[in-house]
Each structure stands twice: as structure tokens, then as C-alpha cells.
Amino acid sequence: MNKDIMIAAGFGDTVARVERGECATCGKAVSAKEFTDELSAREFGISGMCQSCQDDTFLTADDYEPEL
């Protein structure tokens, strides 16, 4: 995440949230232990999203089970 660009775009509150170790999307506290893999941990550095928000955002059609 580019802090200066985010602040200039009006996302100062979001930057502050991530700097406090909170998810940029849902606001819950984020622990490094919650990430399922290295890619997810790196994604937190980019988007500031916790594992749960990443899962909700990046699911693909293959991730869904058909309803019976």
C-alpha cells in the first residue's frame, strides 16, 4: 500500500486502521497467524485485508459448492 497516495485520495482513516494492525475492510484486529499462506500475508501488505475479507473478495466460481 502506498501510504502517501492513499492519504491523498482521502483514505487516511483506512491507512491509520492498517497501521494499527486492523483490517482495512472490516476493522477487526489482524494477526499474522491468521493468514493461510505467504501470498495471503503479502496481500495484507498490499490491501490491508484480513484473511476473511480476502476470502470473501477473491473467491472464484471454483470455490463455491453448488446448492442442492
Which pTM value belongs to this model?
0.76
User: Counting beta carbons within 10 angstroms of the beta carbon of residue 40, is it exposed (0 to 12), middle (13 to 18) or buried (19 or more)?
Assistant: middle
Confidence of residue 1 (pLDDT cuts 50, 70, 90): low
Q: How high is the pLDDT of residue 62?
A: 73
Q: Are 45 and 21 in contact (CB under 8 A)?
A: no
pLDDT, one tens digit per residue, over 9-62 is 998 999 999 999 999 999 999 999 999 999 999 999 889 999 999 999 987 767
Structural contact between residues 17 and 31, judged by C-beta atoms closer than 8 angstroms: no
68/33 Cα distance (integer angstroms): 34
Per the CB < 8 A criterion, the answer to whether 30 and 45 are in contact is no
Q: Give the model's pLDDT for residue 60.
A: 72
